[in-house]
Amino acid sequence: MFKDIEIRTSPHLKRAMSVDRIMRTVVLALLPIAAFAVWQFGLSVLLLLLTTTGVAVATEWFFARQSGRGNTVADWSAVISGLLLGLTLPPGFPLWMAAVAAFVAIALGKALFGGLGYNVMNPALVGRAFVQAAFPVAITTWTPAFAPGRFAELIPSTLTLPFMQPIPVADWVAGLHMDGWTGATPLALQKFQHIETPLGDTLTGLIAGSAGETSALLILICGLWLAWQRMLDWRIPASVMAGAVLVATPFWLLDPVLYPSPWFVLCSGGLMLAAWFMASDMVASPVTARGVIVYGLFIGALTVIIRLFGGLPEGVMYAILLGNAIGPLISSWTQPRVYGSK
Amino acid sequence: MQEQTAVLDSSGRFPVEPRSSKGLFSLFQRAPTFDHGIHPLEHKELTADKPIRRLPFAPELIIPLSQHKGKPAIPLVKVGQEVVRGEPIAQADGFVSVPMHAPATGVIRKIGLGPTAEGPKAPAIFLKVYLAAGQQVLYDQEQDPEQMEPEAIIAAVQAAGLVGLGGGAFPSHVKMIPPAGKAIETLVVNGCECEPYLTCDHRIMLEQTESLIRGIRIAMRATGAKRAIIGVEDNKLDAVAHLRARLPQHLPITAEAVQTKYPQGAEKMLIRSLLGLEVPAGHLTSDIGVAVFNVGTLAQMGDLLPKSRGLIERVITVSGLPVERPGNFMVPIGTPVRFLLEQVGVKPNAGGVILGGPMMGMTVASLDVPITKSVSGVVVLEAEDENAARKQVYPCIKCGECLNACPISLNPSMLGELAQARDYVTMSADYHLDQCFECGCCAYVCPSNIPLTQYFRISKAINRKRKQ
């Protein structure tokens, strides 16, 4: 009747869901955003995304091998980190700097802690924070969207030689004869000149900015799809956005010229991408139901505070890294009430 | 906690109003339920419409002396002695123990170590069944439980050898006595059957309705309960309607649908769903005035007590995708699993055999293991089942799925990490490990395939050993 009787322990049923499937689905959800970025900024962004993803995967492979954890590339988590990192960088970011960022993201942000599941902070943001400090000029050099010939030529700074200063792009941009190009992102325009970009532009993403952060609407759709697939905890992006709106609205009501509108806060900069795809990183966010809401509100509120009162136009990266850092503390404060206990 | 209803109206019937109708949300009101839990594939369609059938006797029955929680029974028979179907063959050893009765007419071949589902061999009575043995039970004596004092009923329940047939195996008569100073107000009758595949309780509610109602009345009389509520998952609304049509109007017995969600049939969950009450940690259900009995137990009670008979057979579901003729069967206690599977036929893709349901049951190491009083089903798994927990284990990614699944709101993610760090003391002291009843929800949902339930089982065992 039986060749071998298998002995197993209960439960004998298992939901058809696994880490590699979750990670693959997140990659899938990021692909439309990546495609939009390439369409918007051209070949440079394609090379940028390939570089960050490739270096992230290679770094993951190397450290997993060195630490005897076997081949962990197959769990697809390094692909997410690489892809997300690339999407947060300026389109013309020198490739060698992007490679450094991807290496730091995985090596310092993930492998050092013991790999997938043990990292305290979002690896992609660790990498980005590193290059933000190391290459302050390159990471704030923006180029216009929909430049003519973007599929035929690269943004000059892309191919900067390693350890060299980035090639200035001002002359190249001037040669494009793009009307109305000021060299600033909507966030900087708002912060320093109090010019608010219309909602339509920040939603559709036909603006300057980091490679994959421009179209709030596209990011929202991809994020909602992922949440609908039950591979993303919708409470995190929802509370990040709620936290941002809660802090931004009073100031805007006080002085709508000086301070940005709540919808501008939501749709500009990296907030949308960060809320849906970075704050929601399962590993680095709290694990309890009430904890994720506290965590999301904290990140949203802190982002706006940094934007309004800090030296930088954007603050979502540091807000998430700080949120990650206090995540375990939030978890321990918000332990669920156990059945039958007070 | 929100509202603590559970107060019945003057007629003694359970309030008709749903437990939590809150304004607009009442539009979406479903049957009451508990927090969290999971929805595994049920596969109940394989056997739900199969009436209970009898099978021939196996040539030899193996009756373990310990089929219940408490002390093993003491044999009353000798090797070579002939016994009649229904005759007592072992007596209870003290109060928390039950006797055994001969499930078939035959001769005692051996009294010694026999196979058990748990693994280690344990003392058992081996009964060689006579070829001409009949199904009828001659060994009985009329009595009327409706006229008996509670103490006499409780003694009769023990004499019948009744234990929790839902899987608990706790002697039923012990549950009928509340702790000193407490009284049992409500009898909760568990007809949830939340384990996938199992349908025996469903069939019992449909086919043994009279016995079940008689059993409920006996249990109410013995416990002094003022009302009884039959809780049935809403995937068996036919059973709810069937019961409601037959429940005596003059008695405070009701049938209520609860949401179909695993582990609805765990008594703590069912009490939460039906009454909105929680059993305080470390306490018994009787501390909040509730006694919970499985429908199968009460149907047997209603059947056996009026004739002073003992428990010699039970209804089980034999199912699973590799089973050729799945069904619900009335099986003599002691029937070897091998005999049962020969009767129903098993396809070559069979891999493992579970006694009980697939969420909490255990796989057997040998097909010679007998069906005991608390086995509610035999489920055959496919070899290398696609759905079985045999996949690559990843580190915990803190997705929080287990926290959303745990019906008692533990933090299995944290507990799993502590188990890996072998910090069993913290698990118990700070993270309520002892509240875990191993329902398996956490391991079921874990995308990292971490065997959390098994971790907790081992951790609890280690803690128990340390305390000794």
- Could you report the per-residue pLDDT of B426-447, keeping only the tens digit for each? 999 999 999 999 999 999 999 9
Write the ipTM.
Answer: 0.89
Lowest mean pLDDT among A108-117, B135-144, B236-245: B135-144
Q: Which of B280, B358, B397 sits opposite A11 (nearest CB)?
A: B358
Tell me, what DSSP letter sits at residue B58? P
Size of interface A-B (CB pairs under 8 A): 184
Model confidence over B311-343: pLDDT tens digits? 999 999 999 999 999 999 999 999 999 999 999
Q: How far does the CA of residue B410 sit from the closest CA of chain A (Å)?
A: 6
Mean residue pLDDT across chain B: 89
CB A235 within 8 A of CB A294: no
Percent of chain A with pLDDT strictly greater than 90 = 61
- The whole-number average pLDDT for the span B450-456 is 95
Q: What secondary structure, in 3-state letters, does chain A show? A: CCCCCCCCCCCCCCCCCCHHHHHHHHHHHHHHHHHHHHHHHCHHHHHHHHHHHHHHHHHHHHHHHHCCCCCCHHHCHHHHHHHHHHHCCCCCCCHHHHHHHHHHHHHCCCHHHCCCCCCCCCHHHHHHHHHHHHCCCHHHCCCCCCCCCCCCCCCHHHHCCCCCCCCCCHHHHHHHCCCCCCCCCHHHHHHHHCCCCCHHHHHHCCCCCCCCCCCHHHHHHHHHHHHHCCCCCCHHHHHHHHHHHHHHHHHHHHCCCCCCCHHHHHHCCCHHHHHHHHCCCCCCCCCCHHHHHHHHHHHHHHHHHHHHHCCCCCCHHHHHHHHHHHHHHHHHHCCCCCCCCC
**In the structure, what pLDDT confidence band is assigned to residue B12 with cuts at 50, 70 and 90?**
very low
Judge: A75–B394 Cβ closer than 8 Å, yes or no.
yes
Give the per-residue pLDDT at B64: 95
Lowest mean pLDDT among A173-177, B51-55, B69-73: A173-177
Beta strand B227-233 pairing with B290-294: unpaired
Could you tell me if B51 and B98 are in contact, meaning their C-beta atoms sit under 8 angstroms apart? no
What percent of chain B stands above pLDDT 70? Answer: 92
Residues B39-43, mean pLDDT to the nearest whole number: 93
**Set of chain A residues whose Cβ sits within 8 Å of the Cβ of B346:** 1-2
* Mean pLDDT value across chain A: 90
Model confidence over B354-386: pLDDT tens digits?
999 999 999 998 999 999 999 999 999 887 655
pLDDT per residue as tens digits for the range A185-241 = 888 888 888 888 888 888 887 788 888 888 899 999 999 999 999 889 999 999 999
Name the residue among A126, A5, A341 with its Cα closest to residue B115: A5
pLDDT for the residue B2? 39
Average pLDDT over residues B151-161: 94
What does the pLDDT average to over A56-67?
A: 94
Question: What's the confidence (pLDDT) of residue B316?
Answer: 96
Q: In whole angstroms, how far apart are CA A217 and each of A201, A203, B194? A: 10, 5, 43
- A86-106 pLDDT tens trace: 999 999 999 999 999 999 999
- Which domains does chain B show, CATH number per domain? 59-129+312-382 (3.10.20.600), 149-307 (3.40.50.11540), 401-467 (no CATH)
pTM of the entire predicted model? 0.89
What's the average model confidence in pLDDT over B33-46?
93
Comparing CB atoms, the residue among B361, B391, B413 nearest residue A10 is B361
Tell whether the torsion through CA atoms of B14, B16, B17 and B20 is positive or negative.
positive
* Residue of B415, B319, B315, B440 whose CA lies nearest to B54: B315
What pLDDT does residue B117 have? 87
| pLDDT of amino acid A1 | 65
**Which of residues A226 and B117 earns the better pLDDT score?**
A226
Residue B298: its pLDDT value, please? 96
The average pLDDT across A315-339 equals 93
In this complex, do B281 and A233 lie within 8 Å of one another by their Cβ atoms? Answer: no
A332 to chain B: closest CA residue: B414
- In this complex, the residue of B365, B399, B411 whose CB is nearest that of residue A336 is B411
Instruction: Using the predicted structure, report yes or no on whether residue A338 has a pLDDT greater than 50.
Output: yes
- pLDDT at position A312 is 82
CB contact under 8 A, B365 and A337: no
User: Closest approach of chain B CAs to the CA of A201, in angstroms?
Assistant: 34
Inter-chain CB proximity B388 and A118 less than 8 Å: no
